[in-house]
Amino acid sequence: MSKLKELARNSLQVAPFILSNTIIFIPYFLFLSLSDGETMEKVLPFVLFYTFRMTGIFLLKSFKLALTSFNILIISILIGGAGCLIGMLGQFYFPTYLFSAVLLGLSASWLPAANTTVNYHEKQQGYSALTGRKYLFILVILGGLIASLMLTKELRIPLVLAEYALLYIAAYHTVTHYPDYEIDFNEVDQQVISIKEFFLFLFFFVLLLFIRSARLLLAPQLLDIGIIGFSALFLIAAWYLNQQRKIWRLPLWLNLMTFANGMCMNFLLLFGTFYVSLRLGIDRLTANLYVPYVLGIVGAAVVINCLYRLFPKVDPKIVHLGGFILALFLLFFRPLFPIGIFLLSCLISATGTFLNQQYYQEKILPQDQRIIAKYSTQTKGSVSHQLLLMSILWLLTKQAQLPAKTVLQITAHKTHNPMALQLVEHVHIISIVGLMLFFSFIIYEVLKGNKMSSNDM
């Protein structure tokens, strides 16, 4: 009996980790499978999940409630669990998928940041829910989820949502038994709205809503609105950042590196998906993108530690940035593409952990806001890269005098037009060169900051 209790306890304790690491992409694929590419009703669940997942962190920052990260974690678990239960009714009444998508999107946006912060708090108190031997339970549960994803759509969606509901219940049981926390929703600040963050949430939400809807419905008019809106936002953001740069509280390199990490994540998953599908064939997608991506996440700690040992006297920030440049360079060569994806995935994951540590040590920010600030900046990078990528594709399409619908066909992997495929190669080169130059600039900022620090000593 004691062994059964230990098995049950271990299974419960890994639930927050599994949710934090899968909530972004498993519901993504579930809701995407509902889309028929023709009717807004079938497209909307995926669009709502994606937009709330990408912009929910700005909504969280816009409400200046005096909630701890633990309270935010509890809220994200509760709304995520509710989203799963509501979504299970979608087989009988399709509109329930819309409510499910909104709740799961918000949970996916808030849970990883809050869970990371709570884990750091717990480690400081000498408690860790995730020990080495529990990784076996993680692999078993992940194996069950992946097996469920391979079923037919009629069985896959309700089964995976039911499994997720159980994970949310297990996560709630686990986090409410952490020794150093208690739930308290009593205190609320007087100023409950941050206009800047709410505006950012609203603007990004509307832009992504238009662009995602355009991509799934192949509607060029919606794409035009999204691109024009992004151009206006880009100009406003450039002016605003120029005005605010001198009063930033965090080091410039930290903001830039976090922003670039978000850009690389979007580059890997968004651009990588349609590049591999169009250039190598959709049947090569798993071997050339998804498998290297997952292996990169699993092997991130080993790879980054090897790089640290190879360059023991080099600033760790330079090691990460140099690793990104190398990984991107490998993507120029088609035979090395899977290796480049693996290394890029390793760097994204390892740099995310490195940045979490850096933000958590920044005493200039309130303790419960540090990791949330990191995720906010990283999301800005991811959203900006997506909008920038679509804008470049749109401009190149106009220059080549192709119809705007070509952009949507490219991103939906539905074209074999030789000119369109050539555009994809151009975007491939522009994206890699642009990111490499960006990382080179961050290296320059790091070296300049190190030099100034050594001169001050």
> What confidence tens digit (pLDDT) does each residue in 113-161 have?
888 888 887 777 655 655 556 667 777 777 787 777 777 777 888 898 9
The pLDDT score that the predictor gives to residue 63 is 65
341 and 243 part of one domain: yes
27-52 average pLDDT score: 75
The CA distances from residue 322 to 54, 289, 311, 343, 442, in Å, are 28, 22, 11, 12, 10
250 and 201 part of one domain: no
Domain end call among 152, 176, 211: 211
Give the tens place of pLDDT for each residue, 226-253: 556 655 555 555 545 444 554 456 788 8
274 and 378 part of one domain: yes
The CA distances from residue 392 to 25, 54, 381, in Å, are 25, 21, 16
- The range of the structural domain enclosing residue 454 comes to 218-457
Domain end call among 192, 211, 230: 211
One-letter identity of residue 7? L
Find tokens 């408690």 and name the residue.
Answer: 127
One-letter identity of residue 344? L
| Confidence at 188, pLDDT banded by 50, 70, 90 | very low
The pLDDT score that the predictor gives to residue 175 is 83
Mapped onto helix, strand or coil, the DSSP state of residue 362 is coil
Domain end call among 194, 211, 228: 211
Find tokens 């860790």 and name the residue.
Answer: 128
Torsion of the alpha carbons at 344, 345, 346 and 350, rounded to the nearest 10? 100
Q: Which of 1-5, 47-51, 164-168, 278-282 has the lowest mean pLDDT?
A: 1-5
115 and 225 part of one domain: no
Considering just the CA atoms, what is the radius of gyration of the chain in Å?
22
296 and 267 part of one domain: yes
> Do 88 and 165 form a contact (C-beta atoms < 8 A)?
yes
The CA distances from residue 456 to 309, 446, 449, 452, 453, in Å, are 29, 15, 11, 6, 5
Give the tens place of pLDDT for each residue, 369-404: 788 888 888 888 888 888 788 778 778 877 777 666
226 and 281 part of one domain: yes
Our count of domains for the chain comes to 2
The pLDDT score that the predictor gives to residue 339 is 93
